[in-house]
Structure 1
Amino acid sequence: MSSPAAEQAPHHRAEPRLDGLAPAALAQLQLAACAIRDGAEAPARRALGSVLDMAPEHPEALRLYGILHLRAHRHAEAQGSLRRAIAQWPDYALAHSDLGNVLQAAGELDAAFASWRQACALAPQAAMPWFNLGRHLQLHGDTAAAIDALARAQSLAPDFLPALILLGDALVHAGRFEEADLRYRAALARHPGCGDAWRGLANMKTRPLGDADREQLRAALRRPNLAASDRIAMGFALGKVHEDHGDYEQAFATLNAANAQQRDLAMWNAAAFRTHVDAMLAIAARLPSPHDTGLGHPVIFIVGLPRSGSTLFEQILAAHPEVEGASELPDLEDVLSEESARRRQPLLQWLAVATADDWARLGRRYLERTARWRSRKPRHVDKLPSNWLLAGVLGAMLPGARIVDARRDALETGWSCYKQQFYRLPHFACTLSDIAAYIRDHERTMARWQAADPRRIRVQPYEALLADPEHEIRALLAFCGLAFDPACLDYHLAARSVRTASAAQVRQPLQRDTARAARYGALLDPLRFGLGIPTLG
């Protein structure tokens, strides 16, 4: 989303002139931008109303109204405000870019990209429209085009760190690791305390960070006035450096501190989550039988814990000529959120009263939203791990879909989660005890649904794949209704974008030496205790 304070930036030819506004109107516009930034809707409305009283239909006030409506999920009102702004100033690139954001939020993706591209055409020498286009291309899986747009943004604004970082991320997803490394290090040359650059380097998990990196990280962490987000990201990166060098006690202490800081930002409530899981299990057990048991056949969901091998299983399936790997899609959650907004009720209140026709409608909505992933191949993989919580709902909504529950040794999975910085907060992975509780909630939920309908749910152990790759790959393909294809055995050769923290790992043949938990000994006893595994201490 464009900054609501964008009127403070230098104005390009394709932006509306603010010179004609009276000083009082300019002051109110500034107040509105700050209020929107801070999430204060009432003051923002008052300030924008004052501007429009003084300057009716002023495009910048209308644009800010569009952003205000978008942040409150009022998509129709947001579109209306932005289209009025564009009607006043058709060449206003920033308004076109913001309209794209609104259209995306409303599920109109083709129209959104048309607006983002129009913004670039109107202001080709401005970095922000290219950055916004590249960011969304990357989010929606068009990595090659994203790299082009982000490179254009970075060339127009060489010191704009977000463009450098996002370009590095896109290059990682494309498997161009040397080029990504250069972008991240260019960002660090400009700002040694840039946590996102260190996060990018640390997430290339097949490339150890060296002694020089360790010293640079330590020096950066001593900088005064370091932002909390940067300090946390660098803490996770430094933990990886210590592990790469075999300093396991130091790695544990460093990661423990980083997770504590992360948890301070937003605390996970394991008891409340367990109550939510229980409610979902109880309600989903009473959902109506579907009219069309084949609805959803084109979809393969991969669910489970993060760091459990889900990206690897997606890579194997995406090597098949009939399957597109779509990575971690928000669409299932978004469809349910749309329905909650339509009914003006939270999910748990309307689940029990939804009819079979309602579920079929929601299933078709998901297929409509994800149709672009099946434009070249007839089926797609959706591997958002947390969709395990909706496995029971999927039996009513998309009963023809197949669900692969990715499993890896629970201790290894839990420790891998603890080492990984997650940005969606609050997150369960900030304490070892919360990780154990989350794993057990996942296991009991999936055991319930897999026992009820093994035809549509398969538990896929990572260790079984290591022990007998061809047998497991053949069984996985058969479960998904796919003929065996030898390309799936050479999954690491598949040329595709991989948009997760495992981007580097899945471009290698199977590795059998990835276990790390045992090297930490009794330090991981809280995780062992929570998982019901004998402790060492």
Structure 2
Amino acid sequence: MVKTYSLDDFLKAVRQGHRAESLAILNHFIDNKEPLKSDWIKCAALALRIGEIHKAKQAADFYRSEMPQTLRHLINYCGVYAEAGDLTKVQKLVEPQIKKDLKDPNLFHLAGTVAAQLGQLDRARNYLINALKLMPQSGITWFTLSSITDYKKYPELLDKLEQSFAMVPEADAKNRQQFFYSLGKAYADLGRFDDAYKAYAAGAEIMQQASRYSVKADEQFVNDIIANHSSDVVANLPRSRSGHNRAVALLGLPRSGTTLLGQMLAAHSKVKGAAETGAIGYASMHLRNENFADFPSFIKQHGDPQGAIDHISDVYAHVINQQFSGTNLVVDKTIQLSRHFAIWAQAFPQGKAIYIQRNPEDVAWSCFKSNFRGRADWSWKAEDIASYMRHEERLMQHWLAVFGDRILSIRYEDLCQNPEQTLKQVCAHLGLAFEPSMLHFYKDNGPVFTSSVGQVHEPIHQKRIGLSANFKDFLDAWRQS
């Protein structure tokens, strides 16, 4: 009797962290060309949640073939491909629809977002402004536009932003939150720093209501990682025999310069790209928090310790290879990779890491004003930011002691002020020769999906060093925490 599965079976397996079972169900759906119709788009989303990019695209293709050829279905289809990183295909599908003079704000928003991620900033602004003409109260569209706009060059947009915000109902909290971050960016660009802080604080206050961050729980988690991963214990952990050697770990707090350094490295002929790959999460989704906090105990109790670390290495490499073809290095700047670094280091025993640091006050302010997509609910309050930063600093100092010269420490300020010298150090650490093209990364860099999207398409400069000094009220709260 042939085993049958439902979409609920797939969802349950994903939620329980059963990647192998999830993949088996997904393969069953695809191989048997199940008539899932509109549910194919849900399958695609679940496939992305387990790092199966190619299969997510296959599921999306089934969705498109089985559903009516409407604009809404095309946008849903393109959404999967955009999330999978295939921005060029999305652009090729969306732009012909725009030429048909279709008055759909979602179409313009999608086109603008994709163009921004590809570094086509003028084109992106044009699409986003057209979206706002049709739907001026769209906070997410204003936020996307603001992230790539210097309001000193486009001061007329502020009036339109404020007028649109005035029409947003008080009850529409999520939309207002996007507007607050947009207003904060505009006011900061124009030197109205007090107004900027008030706007950012209002947006953060809305986000704070949904925060599940616990200072005590996070501190205990880091304490446990440090206590359970001493140098002696780590030295006795099994190391993967898989032989995958493409991975480079880029460690550092968000907004500390990881995206900038990643784009510079990606300009090297021996580096395929840099991204928040999420690969370590997909490879270890069967682990629970207590396993991350005490990976040595998990391995000790495992029936096949060597097989366990080989499996993590294999899945990680599988995910990386989908995102970046070829054999060149891939820079992994996944947020909170530091929390999984012992696992990463054993999965890639020859892998090297770079730890980038920046003036803590600049990091703190930049995190506070960044409307992160997720996994950063510590960033909505000065006190939480201070605690999280302390925890990360302790953890990184521990990893530096444990892994020694596998981790190179550099500073963001040095990267901006002495880029060639700093990049030569980084290249030497990775066994690469410095290439001048790395200094011109902004001319031909890859897609950017982080909150730095509007910044890394510029030549390197020092304008963001010390910016936090303009926000005294925030710094006072942060310093006192």
TM range (shorter): 0.7 to 0.9
Q: How does 1:27-38 map to 2 (within 5 A)?
A: none
SS of the counterpart of 2:286?
helix
Name the counterpart of 1:239.
184
Equivalent residue, structure 1, for 2:211: 266
1:405-424 maps to which residues of 2 (within 5 A)?
405-424=355-374
2:30 and 2:58 in contact (8 A); partners too: no
Residue 366 to residue 466, structure 1, CA distance change in 2 (3 Å): same
1:372 aligns with 2:316: no
By relative contact order (CA 8 Å, sep 6+), the higher-ranking structure is 2
Q: Is the 8 A contact 1:260 1:430 kept in 2?
A: yes
Question: What are the superposed Cα offsets for residues 329-367 of structure 1, whole Å, 9 maximum, x if unpaired?
Answer: 1221122113459xxx86446652315512232122211
Question: 1:45 corresponds to which residue?
Answer: none
Distance 1:80 1:299, change over 3 A: closer
TM-superposed deviation, 1:314: 0.5
> Which residue, out of 263, 273, 279, partners 1:315?
263
Identity %: 21
The offset of 1:434, in angstroms, is: 1.3
Structure 1 alignment gaps of length 5 or more: 1-61, 531-537
TM-score if structure 1 supplies the norm length? 0.78
Q: 1:463 corresponds to which letter in structure 2?
A: E
Range moving further from structure 2, 394-403 or 287-296:
287-296
Contact 2:14–2:50 under 8 Å retained in 1: no
The answer on whether the counterparts of 1:82 and 1:99 sit within 8 Å (CA) in structure 2 is no
Letter in 1 for 2:160: Q
* Consecutive unaligned residues in structure 2, runs of 5 or more: none
Match of 1:359 among 309, 319, 330: 309
Give the superposition deviation at 1:274. 1.1
Residue equivalent to 1:143: 87
Larger radius of gyration: 1
1:144 deviation in Å?
0.9
What's the offset of the Cα at 1:147? 1.7
- Map 1:110-509 → 2, pairs under 5 A: 110-123=54-67, 125-151=69-95, 158=102, 160-204=104-148, 206=150, 208=152, 210-223=154-167, 224=169, 227-285=172-230, 286-287=233-234, 288-291=236-239, 295-340=243-288, 347-348=292-293, 351-355=296-300, 356-357=305-306, 358-424=308-374, 427-509=377-459
Say if 1:298 and 1:380, in contact at 8 Å, map to a contact too.
Answer: yes
1:16-165 matched pairs, under 5 angstroms = 65=8, 69=12, 72=15, 76=21, 90=35, 93-123=37-67, 125-151=69-95, 158=102, 160-165=104-109
Matched-pair contact (CA < 8 Å) for 1:407–1:460: yes
Note if contact 2:208-2:380 (Cα within 8 Å) is conserved in structure 1. yes
**TM-score calculated relative to the size of structure 2:** 0.86
- Cα distance 1:72–1:291, how it changes in 2: closer, same or farther (>3 A)? closer
Check whether the contact 1:202–1:237 (CA below 8 A) recurs between aligned residues: yes
Q: 1:65: how far off? A: 4.4
SS of corresponding position for 1:148:
helix
Q: 1:178 to 1:457 in 2, by over 3 A?
A: same
Q: Deviations over 1:196-250 (max 9, x none)?
A: 1111012115564744333333333332355211100100111111111111111
| Contact 1:127/1:154 (<8 A) preserved | no
Letter in 2 for 1:241: A
How many residues get paired? 466
CA distance in 2 between counterparts of 1:369 and 1:89 reads 25
| Cα distance, 1:166 vs structure 2 | 2.9
What RMSD in Å do the two structures reach over aligned CA positions? 3.2
Q: Is the 8 A contact 2:242 2:313 kept in 1?
A: no
CA 1:263–1:332: 2 relative to 1, 3 Å: same
Q: CA deviation at 1:522?
A: 5.1
| Change in CA separation of 1:491 and 1:529 when aligned onto 2, cut-off 3 Å | same
The alignment status of 1:527 with 2:478, answered yes or no, reads yes
1: CA distance, partners of 2:199 / 2:473: 16
Q: Is the 8 A contact 2:249 2:353 kept in 1?
A: yes
Q: Displacement of 1:413 after TM fit?
A: 1.1
